Amino acid sequence: MSRVRYGMLIDLRRCTGCNACAVACKAENAVPLGRWRGWVKVVEKGVYPHASRSFLPAICNNCENPICVRNCPTQATYAREDGIVMVDPHRCIGCKYCIASCPYDVRYLSPFKKIVQKCLWCNHRVDAGLLPACVQTCPTGAMTFGDVNNPISEISRLLASNPVQVLKPEKDTRPHVFYIAADMVAMRTMGTPWEGKE
Amino acid sequence: MPVRKVSRRTFVKLGSAGVGIAALGAGLGALAQADELAPGGRTVSRTTGGSRRAIASACLQCPARCGILGFVEEGQLVKIEGNPKDFHNQGRLCAKGQAGVNHVYNPDRLLYPMRRAGSRGANLWQRVSWEEALQEVAARLAELHRSGNPDGLLFMAGLFEGTQPIVQRFARAFGTSRLCQEMHLFQSNKAIAQQLTWGSSQEINDVARSRYILNFGVNPYESHALFVPFVQRLIEGRMKGARLVTLDPRLSSTAAKSDEWLPIRPGTDGVVALAMANVIMQKGLHDLEFIRRWTNIGSAQLAEYLATFTPVMAGEISDLSPASIERIAIEFATNKPSTTLSAGGATLHAHGVQAERAVALLNAVTGNVDVPGGYCLPRTYQLAEPEPRPPEPGQALSPVQCSRLFDEIQEGKIRVENLMTFMANPAYSYPDPQLTGRVLADPNLVPFHVAVDTYVTETSVLADIILPAATYLESWDIQSTPSYELVPQVSLMQPVVKPLGESIAFHDIAIELARRIGGGMEQYFDFGSMEAYVLATASQVPGLAEAGGLKYLKENGHWHGPDARPSYRIYESEGFRTPSGKFEIISKAMEDKGFSALPDFPSLAENRKKEEQLMLVTFQWNVHTYGRTAPSMWLSEIVHENPVWIHPETAESLGISKGDLVRVSSELGDLTAKAWVTQGIHPDVIAMGACVGHWESGRVAQGKAFESKDPNTRVIWWQKHGNGTHPYRIIPLKVDPIGGSPAWMGLPVTLAKA
């Protein structure tokens, strides 16, 4: 029997860019204004009238090979057995090495606590048998979360039956957030035209 | 592999959550497998890990009334999630619904009755007791009531509060015919067109089962009257292969993700629909049987009438190619079941009723009416209010009068003695809001104004007394909102937390005022409490009593008949609720009022822009509902500005670059805003979001950082970006003469670098 390894799959054919995931995260994790554990990237491409817009909800990839864990000088950042990359608030000294290490720009320094915080896939919910807040609320069911080591889980079934992508595979981080129908432009840029981070 | 333990209780929850999903076929991701994580229904404290108390209720951040669970920890509302037992929204919730928490705890929320302590609009207040405030309001209203002039009370209900029957009951019990629903501004053109055509005020597009969805300017990926329930089914339909074609001058998120985006000139949807109907008739792709049996026009007569609306003519007016019009007409008629979508984009024009009737016609000629995957009638319960019920006023204010209200007050045509506003914000939400502001500031025109509100808004800042209203999360209501499962449902709104500070729910204010005003008014509020009112209403719903009545609703938030299955073609047994019992392509009521009996497209002459002009359209962002949500920090953080969308060629010809300040001028005035240059807009059109740019409504809405108990208000980082510009201030009041909604869209404007 293999251990539980969590992963997330975001089907962008279902994503409407509505930001419910981003706001659910704010509510669930008391994320300070100006900081984000998850947000929706928006990119436009094409020339009128053949223009289009793509969305890409961005969160921590909870990588199998996390650079942040390697680079944390105090071992505050560590990976759980099930793959969730944690930050121990008591060990974190706010040095921001992990922020600099992360290719996905998903970590932030809390303006109130002066320690680093990030998406933990709502570990407190997962440990209580609940889906992460973003997955729970996604109006159109674009997000699926579960055990990628369990071959009969919904996420394994979807991973097995669809072409999927991960962000920046060349970094060899082995991300565990997978996308269906991600747009290349959205995968490359971190910012958004009118929203997003400070 | 460790198998997650699932208690029987959790399993039962999973099972019931699956009902709505199963009804849609393959559903919303991972559910109902013993080793999967639970899709909702409970949450845990982040600090203690303990389960939180959950109270089932209904959302009111928009009219959709999604089922919610409010999670409470130490008396505080800490989280809102969708209620998995509610098949309407299937346990899911949008950003606005999630941000309901902000609505309760915004530090600038009104928590005490206030009396004006400066001139109107000065925002100077003196805190008073409820006793003092109620005494004054009741004394003024009682005097009006006794003097036999109940119409001296003008009551304005906010966008979604107007749907609460208690509001209408209060106005009727007082005896005033002057009840104005703010929602008319955005919905009455569509609602009246629909009423005239098939006797229902909205359609339910059965999009989960459609094969072809023709979208006239609706933006359900961001905003819809039944937002989450609708977009869920739309995505289901699309995942099963339905084609979505969107006509919109702007690349909305819906247009952007459609199979095809056809940029259309604002205000021309009607002529395109008529030309499509013409093509369908000419090619013999119409449903002869439906037209013959269920409409009030012969197919030969219809074909003859439509013949003048050629694709070439419609193409010239709309900027679509005649070939595209012909092609989508054929696709619509041959990929059945199909349905049209239409709302503000097509109808918020001076001829919006006719546009909506033209779009509805397409569904009739193709026989897509009330069929699986088609254009269906809403299924709701007629909820019975407790007896005795106040009499209906003889001559209620029409939507046209509501839109023209402040003009008519200024001109002396409507004489107001007392104005009562409940969450209504006409000094923000009306066209030419400066006019509203001037009228509200003038004590000769509005001698007394009591506002029942949650913030000092652009409107309540002009009041004499403000009564602090409880939010929807602290109030009772019962509703039967049409569901996309096509069976009627009942949903309960109940207090998730106690009203904050000294705020009181409107229904309790109404009960107390009625008692104090007296003169017979009190008899209509004999039911005593809103809970008793809801109980009396719930007990009248067939089948609900057997399920446990109000007790069931309080525990579950939502109820529908357990054996209810979608049924179609209900008109075959009931007919349409029109004078003829048919789908009225010919409207005698329209003819009697001097309008074209058949869906028509009026000359564009009066609306036509001059050569150098552009057309301004407004739109709703996905995280806001009109001006209502800007006080929510989690929403305003995402959208707090509304730059002007400009096509690159248009921008270049005017020397405008992205980020420049530009001036937009209309016949009414001008505004300055930032430029956003984008390929996603028709070159002759500019667009602005309409939900920000507040000058009152609290500091979060105004994008100002401040000290409060919530450390977040110190870090309102978008202060340096400003909070946008309200576009309505340059939109003059022009009203559809039938439907009453203003012509919001397609305003001729000029654009220049500021």
CATH number of domain containing B527: 3.40.50.740
More confident residue, A191 or B616: B616
For B100, name the nearest residue in chain A, comparing CA atoms only: A27
Q: Do B325 and B279 meet the contact criterion of CB atoms below 8 Å apart?
A: yes
Query: Residue B529: is its pLDDT beyond 80?
Result: yes
Name, in order, each residue with C-beta under 8 angstroms of B367's C-beta and a sequence gap of 6 or more. Answer: B286, B287, B289, B290, B291, B336
**pLDDT per residue over B355-413, tens digit each?**
999 999 999 999 999 999 999 999 999 999 999 999 998 889 999 999 999 999 999 99
SS3 percent helix, strand, coil of chain B, rounded to 5, is 35, 15, 50
B421 in a structural domain: yes
Residue B654 shares a structural domain with residue B556 = no
Q: Write out chain A residues lying below 8 Å of B38, CB-based.
A: 129-131
Taking the CA of residue B385 and the nearest CA in chain A, the distance in Å comes to 33
pLDDT of residue B164: 85
Distance CA A29, CA B46 (A): 8
Reduced to 3 states, what is the DSSP secondary structure of residue B280? helix
Q: List the single best residue of A112, A137, A162 to mutate versus B (max B Cβ within 10 A).
A: A137
Distance CA B454, CA B625 (A): 16
Please tell me which of the candidates A17, A54, A144 has its beta carbon nearest to residue B29: A144
Put simply, whether B736 touches A (Cβ < 8 Å) is no
Distance CA A182, CA A142 (A): 12
Residue B493 shares a structural domain with residue B527 = yes
Q: Phi and psi dihedrals of B235, rounded to 5?
A: -65, -40
B643 in a structural domain: yes
Q: How confident is the model at residue B508 (pLDDT cuts 50, 70, 90)?
A: very high
B50 in a structural domain: no
Convert A18-68 into a string of H (helix), E (strand) and C (coil).
CCHHHHHHHHHHCCCCCCCCEEEEEEEECCCCCCEEEEEEEECCCCCCCHH
Query: Residue A53: is its pLDDT beyond 90?
Result: yes
Put simply, whether B44 touches A (Cβ < 8 Å) is yes
Distance CA B671, CA B691 (A): 15
Percent of chain A with pLDDT over 90: 90
CATH number of domain containing B722: 2.40.40.20
How many C-beta neighbours within 10 Å does residue B577 have? Answer: 12
Please tell me which of the candidates A13, A34, A146 has its beta carbon nearest to residue B37: A146
Distance CA B24, CA B17 (A): 12
Query: Residue B11: is its pLDDT beyond 80?
Result: no
Residue B122 shares a structural domain with residue B218 = no
8 Å CB contact of A19 and B681: no
Please tell me which of the candidates B33, B35, B95 has its beta carbon nearest to residue A20: B95
**pLDDT per residue over B234-259, tens digit each?**
999 999 999 999 999 999 999 999 99
Taking the CA of residue A140 and the nearest CA in chain B, the distance in Å comes to 5
**What's this model's pTM, rounded to 2 decimal places?**
0.94
pLDDT of residue B141: 97
Distance CA B732, CA A3 (A): 65
Query: Residue B1: is its pLDDT beyond 90?
Result: no
B473 in a structural domain: yes
Q: How confident is the model at residue B99 (pLDDT cuts 50, 70, 90)?
A: very high
Q: Write out chain A residues lying below 8 Å of B711, CB-based.
A: 32, 112
DSSP class per residue in A57-114: EEE----SS-HHHHH-TTS-EEE-TTS-EEE-TTT-----HHHHH-TT---EE-TTT-
Give the mean model confidence (pLDDT) for residues B476-487: 95
Please tell me which of the candidates A55, A130, A139 has its beta carbon nearest to residue B43: A130
B49 in a structural domain: no
Give the mean model confidence (pLDDT) for residues B472-493: 96
Residue B156 shares a structural domain with residue B202 = no
Q: Phi and psi dihedrals of B385, rounded to 5?
A: -75, 155
Long-range contacts of B652-659 (CB under 8 A, 24+ apart): B654/B751, B654/B752, B654/B753, B655/B753, B656/B751, B656/B753
Put simply, whether B241 touches A (Cβ < 8 Å) is no
Give the count of Cβ contacts less than 8 A between chain A and B. Answer: 209
Put simply, whether B262 touches A (Cβ < 8 Å) is yes
Reduced to 3 states, what is the DSSP secondary structure of residue B393? coil
Q: Give residue B519's domain range.
A: 114-181+396-485+487-560
**pLDDT per residue over B691-718, tens digit each?**
999 999 999 999 999 999 999 999 999 9
Residue B127 shares a structural domain with residue B251 = no
8 Å CB contact of A141 and B639: no
Put simply, whether B250 touches A (Cβ < 8 Å) is no
Residue B216 shares a structural domain with residue B254 = yes
Residue B212 shares a structural domain with residue B326 = yes
B521 in a structural domain: yes
Candidate from B483-487, B526-530, B631-635 with smallest mean pLDDT: B526-530
Q: Do B222 and B620 meet the contact criterion of CB atoms below 8 Å apart?
A: yes
Query: Residue A143: is its pLDDT beyond 50?
Result: yes
User: How would you classify residue B29: left for phi > 0, otherwise alpha for psi between -120 and 50, otherwise beta?
Assistant: left
Give the mean model confidence (pLDDT) for residues A150-173: 96
Residue B531 shares a structural domain with residue B659 = no
Name, in order, each residue with C-beta under 8 angstroms of B138's C-beta and a sequence gap of 6 or more. Answer: B513, B516, B517
Q: How confident is the model at residue B565 (pLDDT cuts 50, 70, 90)?
A: confident
Candidate from A33-42, B95-104, B191-200, B577-586 with smallest mean pLDDT: A33-42
Residue B205 shares a structural domain with residue B334 = yes
Put simply, whether B708 touches A (Cβ < 8 Å) is no
Q: Write out chain A residues lying below 8 Å of B622, CB-based.
A: 16-19
Q: Where are the alpha helices (DSSP H) in B310-349?
A: 311-318, 322-334, 344-347
Residue B344 shares a structural domain with residue B445 = no
B494 in a structural domain: yes
Query: Residue B185: is its pLDDT beyond 90?
Result: yes
8 Å CB contact of B622 and A48: no
B102 in a structural domain: no
Chain B segment 558-617 residues within 8 A of A by beta carbon are none
Domain count, chain B: 3
Question: Considering only CA atoms, which of B240, B235, B205, B241 is closest in space to residue B221?
Answer: B235
pLDDT of residue B610: 76
Question: Considering only CA atoms, which of B10, B17, B100, B41 is closest in space to residue B493?
Answer: B100
Put simply, whether B24 touches A (Cβ < 8 Å) is no
How many C-beta neighbours within 10 Å does residue B238 have? Answer: 21
Distance CA B326, CA B322 (A): 6
Q: How confident is the model at residue B607 (pLDDT cuts 50, 70, 90)?
A: low
Please tell me which of the candidates A33, A47, A126 has its beta carbon nearest to residue B717: A33
pLDDT of residue B22: 38
Which stretches does DSSP call E strand in B434-549? 448-453, 465-468, 477-479, 489-493
- For chain A, the C-alpha Rg in angstroms (whole number) is 16
How does the average pLDDT of chain B come out, rounded?
A: 93
Distance CA B746, CA B733 (A): 13
Structure tokens at B322: 């005649």
pLDDT of residue B17: 39
Q: Write out chain A residues lying below 8 Å of B692, CB-based.
A: none
Distance CA B750, CA B141 (A): 47
Query: Residue B749: is its pLDDT beyond 80?
Result: yes
Residue B232 shares a structural domain with residue B157 = no
Residue B334 shares a structural domain with residue B404 = no
**pLDDT per residue over B260-314, tens digit each?**
999 999 999 999 999 999 999 999 999 999 999 999 999 999 999 999 999 999 9
For A181, name the nearest residue in chain B, comparing CA atoms only: B257
Q: What architecture is the A6-188 domain classified under in CATH?
A: 2-Layer Sandwich (3.30)
